[in-house]
Amino acid sequence: MTSTQHPANDAAVPAADGTLGEHAAGENTAEIPPRTVLGRLPKYAAGKPPVAVEGLQAYKLSSNENPLPPIPAVLAAVHGRTDIMRYPDPLCTALRTELASFLDVPAEDIVTGAGSLGALTQILQTFAGQREDGTEDEVIYPWRSFEAYPIVVGLSGARSVQVPNRPDGTHDLEAMAAAVTDRTRVILLCTPNNPTGPALTGAQVEGFLAKVPRDVVVVIDEAYTEFVRDPEVVDGISMYRKHPNVVVLRTFSKAHGLAGLRVGYSVSRPAITQYLRVAATPFAVSSLAEQAAITSLRHYDQVLERVQSLVDERERVVAGLRELGWEFPETQGNFVWLPLGARAEEFAEFAGRQALSVRAFAGEGVRVSIGEVEANSRFLELCAAYVQARTAS
């Protein structure tokens, strides 16, 4: 036997292209089962890229990405960096210091993560999971909402308690409060809600928190907060200042246009952050990403200009859809939700033929991100054409 032969590992090995590699299928195969929870979890479906259509510029409106690049100062700050052979600061001290000044909160109250989803994963790993007796903690959240919620809750070992949204796409806070049991450890509020669009008001969240036990962690997920224009919408930082069990989630992925660099963070009181730091993934935020986020904060006025241009486009799209007779929830994010039900996939295919990719949720609706001006105009045109086609049929 040569040193390169490993008879104990003769199971079929998939190559990078998905085909079987050097070990033939069926040759001493051995099943290596994952945790049983994986069989009960949905798979995360990222927004698909558009299909090329001859004569048309293709646009991706399926992932709630910022269609504008980072501001020039950010691009300049990360260009030519040569220190990436070094590990980053695991505590992201420089970014937390910058955020502390920006938000007017103590730096000790901030814990960074790989996007807001990474920060959420740290929260769930800290406060919800399987108990010593083998039973599960419970995590309550609205549904439909961010599709990663059931995945990260399940992987933490906790049980999902999904509370259906109201018909208008808003959280049913009364039902969520009623779902609290002695096993509830975490509650997730998504505002604005992805994918339906509505946001919670400060008064609604205050009323909800009054009904929730103080030892239950309430996460206010504000991934799209910079796009909010309704003055009544809740400000998570204000809630965290008043309520010790509130954790705020924010990200640089959307407004700042740094989705590919994965920078997010949570803000909470020391009684919570002291444990989050234990569960935090070491080096989750790269030094490149940290510098980009710091620079973006220091030029926040330029970020806001770009955000406002997208909000203006959102309002143009909303007005255009209303004029066409479409009915959909109010949106405070960088997307709109079309509650098409069983026709969701049909509409997505219709859009695809116009070189636009949108995000269909089978049997429920379609989420369409606000993109480039031309992309938004084409979306309105196809919505008009779709109505005409449905009417004719």
Give the phi and the psi of residue 236 in degrees, each rounded to 5: -60, -35
Confidence of residue 25 (pLDDT cuts 50, 70, 90): low
Q: State which H helix or E strand residue 218 sits in.
A: strand 217-221
Cα separation, 167 vs 161, whole angstroms = 19
The average pLDDT across 338-367 equals 97
The average pLDDT across 165-177 equals 98
pLDDT at 149: 98
Identify residue 76 by its one-letter amino acid code.
A
Q: Is the pLDDT of residue 13 over 80?
A: no
Q: Give the percent of the chain with pLDDT over 70.
A: 93
Confidence of residue 29 (pLDDT cuts 50, 70, 90): confident
Q: Is the pLDDT of residue 359 over 90?
A: yes
Find which of 1-10, 223-232, 274-283 is predicted with most confidence, using mean pLDDT: 223-232
**Torsion region of 189: left, alpha or beta (phi above 0 gives left; psi -120 to 50 gives alpha):** beta
pLDDT at 34: 86
Q: Give the percent of the chain with pLDDT over 90.
A: 83
Q: Is the pLDDT of residue 392 over 90?
A: no
Q: Is the pLDDT of residue 226 over 90?
A: yes
135-159 confidence digits (pLDDT tens): 999 999 999 999 999 999 999 999 9
Confidence of residue 36 (pLDDT cuts 50, 70, 90): confident
Q: How far is CA 6 from CA 9, 20, 27, 319, in A?
A: 6, 17, 13, 65
Cα separation, 330 vs 318, whole angstroms = 9
Question: Which residues make Cβ contacts (< 8 Å) with residue 102, sequence separation at least 6?
Answer: 297, 300
Cα separation, 252 vs 354, whole angstroms = 31
For the chain, domains (ranges, CATH) are: 59-64+301-392 (3.90.1150.10), 72-298 (3.40.640.10)
The average pLDDT across 218-226 equals 98
Q: How far apart are the first and last CA of the chain?
A: 70
pLDDT at 26: 55
197-209 confidence digits (pLDDT tens): 999 999 999 999 9
As a whole number, the mean pLDDT across the chain is 92
pLDDT at 310: 98
